[in-house]
Structure 1
Amino acid sequence: MPAYGFAHLRGRRNHSDVIEYLDRIQATLDPFDGRFVIHGPPAEVVEGTWPGSMVLIEFPDLAGARAWYDSPAYRAILRLRADHIEGDLLLIEGVGPNYDPAERGRALRAEAEQAGRPAT
């Protein structure tokens, strides 16, 4: 199952440390087959608000995403970004190619019924 590193970045500054981070991050991703899917372009917000930018990095699985984040190579450059850009970073497992949202709905409905309350 693919997994993702998702970052919501705010207050971005073009500091020399951030540029160094950008120069070095791909080398930290390569051993874990990580690849950028989204890297901070302006987003078209169609509902709600979205201050900042986003980064999405794909990994083959959640174990690989965790191993990358905890790797000595990434830890060595993490502060270059984190000291200059406020943000949140999540590691999250994706869904497989046969994912069916209706099946998820059925599971939630059954869970509510088992708890004795209607799904609302």
Structure 2
Amino acid sequence: MPAYIIARFRIHDRESYDRYEAAFMRVFSKFQGKLLSVDEAPEVLEGDWDYTRSVLIEFPDKAAAKAWITSPEYRAIAKDRLNASEGQVIIVEGLPPHA
């Protein structure tokens, strides 16, 4: 069953975040993920939103998503993201295919 990483960030150090972003695809491409959306101007339909970036990533399953986010390669580049932004990252399971 597919799994999705949903993240939202408030970037306060663009230079450090740009370093993270420059290295992201090199690491990400090794983990069967699919980058579905990166948006710095999402349209708010309900509620409050004070984040400057939203990200949606699909993986074949939770195990693949966790392998990526806990990998030494990702943790090494994530230091720049963690220093450059505040945010939240969650993982959710997709729905089973309709029978």
Q: TM-score, normalised by structure 2?
A: 0.88
The unaligned stretches of length 5 or more in structure 1 are 100-120
Please name the residue that 1:72 is paired with.
72
Q: Report whether the alignment pairs 1:94 with 2:94.
A: yes
CA RMSD of aligned residues (A): 1.6
- Bigger proportion of residues as strand: 2
Larger Rg: 1
- AA matched with 2:63: A
Please name the residue that 2:82 is paired with.
82
Q: CA 1:97 to 1:47, structure 2 compared with 1: closer, same or farther past 3 Å?
A: same
- Bigger proportion of residues as helix: 1
Aligned length: 98
Please name the residue that 1:58 is paired with.
58
Cα deviation, 1:29-53, whole Å, max 9, x if unaligned, reads 1121112111123111121121113
- AA matched with 1:60: P
Highest RCO, 1 vs 2 (Cα 8 Å, sep ≥ 6): 2
How far apart are residue 12 of structure 1 and its match? Answer: 4.1
The unaligned stretches of length 5 or more in structure 2 are none
Q: TM-score, normalised by structure 1?
A: 0.74
